[in-house]
Structure 1
């Protein structure tokens, strides 16, 4: 499960870096038109924000699953000791 989580995190990080790398050359052509510059920067920010939100959602779900597994194990151990 941890390996899948690391892969997912690596994918989000790779996507974030690609947004920045693709945005760098686009900035040169967009800097002459304020509207295009705002659109480019807003798109980059929204893309990275969306990836961060998806990563946070994944981590929240993972923590919830881990907590449920621990609770089930504790309940099982409690029932076995009675």
Structure 2
């Protein structure tokens, strides 16, 4: 695996962890409103899934080079 590929993967991992870390404090205020809690959790999940898909597309492109 090339160094740039590892670096991009690490960046996506750091971004995913930051989504969780930023979401944890928001959980306390969102717990009182079920709809807000659902939106917040869905947003966190979609953000992490989006980063995983970008990383995967990068890996697919890297194997074709």
TM > 0.5 fold call: yes
- The structure, 1 or 2, with the larger RCO (C-alpha pairs under 8 Å, 6+ apart) is 2
Which residue pairs with 2:38 in the alignment? 38
TM-score, structure 1 length as denominator?
0.77
Which portions of structure 1, spanning 4 or more consecutive aligned residues, are displaced by more than 2 angstroms?
A: none
Q: Which has the larger radius of gyration?
A: 1
- How many residues align? The count is 65
1:5 corresponds to which residue?
A: 5
Report the RMSD for the aligned CA atoms in angstroms. 1.0
Give ranges in structure 2 of 5+ residues lacking alignment: none
TM-score (norm 2): 0.96
1:42-81 aligned within 5 A: 42-65=42-65
Report whether the alignment pairs 1:20 with 2:50.
no
